[in-house]
Amino acid sequence: MWNGIDWQLIGISFVTVFLAEIGDKSQLAAIALGGSSNNPRAVFIGSTMALILASLLGVLAGGAVAQFLPEKLLKSVAAIGFATMALKILWIGGKE
């Protein structure tokens, strides 16, 4: 059952998403909801389901796009996008 699983890819995906989610708006919303709720378990379940669904949509969209565009182009576009966001945050401070 577990023979075909790419554990390295799972680990990289986990670390990447975990680090990307620390301190973002969804985590701040979960903190606010958990702190103001009488049922933090329900907030945890709801926010976990939302992250799973958002991740599923991202993976499905990425898989669909990968059918039409070469991998090297996708990686280049992703790298340029992340670099652009980093430069914007450094120079503008993330203010809009």
pLDDT tens readout for residues 18-46: 888 887 888 888 889 999 999 999 999 99
Per-residue pLDDT band for 89 (boundaries 50, 70, 90) equals confident
Tokens standing for residue 38: 């009488």
Global confidence as pTM: 0.66
In this predicted structure, what is the pLDDT of residue 96?
Answer: 54
Q: Indicate the domain borders of the chain.
A: 7-69
Residue in this structure with the two tokens 């203010």, named with its chain if needed:
95
Largest CA distance in the chain: 49
* pLDDT exceeds cutoff 70 at 1: no
